[in-house]
Structure 1
Amino acid sequence: MGCCYSSGNEDSDQDREERKLLLDPSSPPIKALNGAEPNYPSLPSARTDEQALLSSILAKTAGNIIDVCAADSQGTEQHEGVDRARQYSMYLSEKKKKIFLLRAYIDVGLGLL
């Protein structure tokens, strides 16, 4: 029922020329419908600005990345880690004792013990 396209693979010379003009970035600009010419020379400037923006984003991102492998190798030695764990365990046991004594004191004051 009404097909607008040709199933043949043959391209006319005019089709090839139009395709070449569309794909060729060095072709001269075509006037717009309102008579104003597109500003193609500003495209490299826009690309340069975009490239500069992307470079600055990349630099900021690279500055914020933490290299876990490098941090691990510069980290604590095994004995330092064991020592820290022991100190933390002692700290927690002291806090638990204080909490236990405080609860007992409160219970005695309330007459619960």
Structure 2
Amino acid sequence: MPAIKILPHHELCPEGTTIQAAPGTSICEALLENGIAIEHACDMSCACTTCHVVVREGFRSLNEMEETEEDLLDRAWGLEPNSRLGCQAIVARQDLVVEIPKYTINHARENH
């Protein structure tokens, strides 16, 4: 199973960590299944940008981005060339290094 190294995030994963994810799983699902509470305001339906991640290593191994995701990413805080929506980025067989941006554009977080 591929490993996803999560770089430190001040709130969600202060020390950073490495998790395992089955191929075919989205990055967002993998994070949530491993106790990393990444925001996903649209319930992973590709309708917001709260699960925006930057894939530092392994970007090319992910599935190809669809137009809806590309359009939404234009609104994401801290957009970079290797940005993806975690709910749409599907893990293949290569290890990944992922950074969760410090901020999102979500103004009303659930359960906080």
TM-score band w.r.t. shorter chain: under 0.3
Select the structure with the greater relative contact order (CA < 8 A; seq sep ≥ 6). Answer: 2
Larger radius of gyration: 1
TM-score by length of 1: 0.19
Please identify which structure carries the higher helix content: 1
